[in-house]
Structure 1
Amino acid sequence: MLAEDPDQILTEEQKEFSKVIHSSGQDLLTLINDILDLSKVEVGKLEISFEEVNMSEMSQRMKQHFTQVAKHKNLEFTVRSSEEVPPVFNTDEQRLQQIVKNLLSNAFKFTEEGSVAVTFEKASKGDFFGLPLSSYTEDWLKITVVDTGIGIPAEKQQLIFEAFQQADGATMRKYGGTGLGLSISKEFAQLLGGICKVESEEGKGSRFILVIPNLPNGMPEIASGFACF
Structure 2
Amino acid sequence: MSEQGALQHLVESAGVDPEVFALRPDYRAVLIAVDGLVPGPSDDVSEALLQKAEAFAVQLLAAGPVEDVPHVAAWRDAYRAFGAKPQRTRNSLEALVRRAATGLPRVNRLTDMYNAISVLHQIPLGGEDLAGYVGAPRLIRANGTEPFDTATGGEATVEHPEPGEVVWCDDAGVTCRRWNWRQGRRTQLHDHTTSALFILDALAPLSDEALGQATADLYTHLERLGPDVQVARRLMETPREQP
Tell me the TM-score normalized by structure 2: 0.26
Higher relative contact order (CA 8 A, sep 6+): 2
Structure number with larger C-alpha Rg = 1
Tell me the TM-score normalized by structure 1: 0.28
Hey, which of these two has a bigger chunk of strand by percent?
2
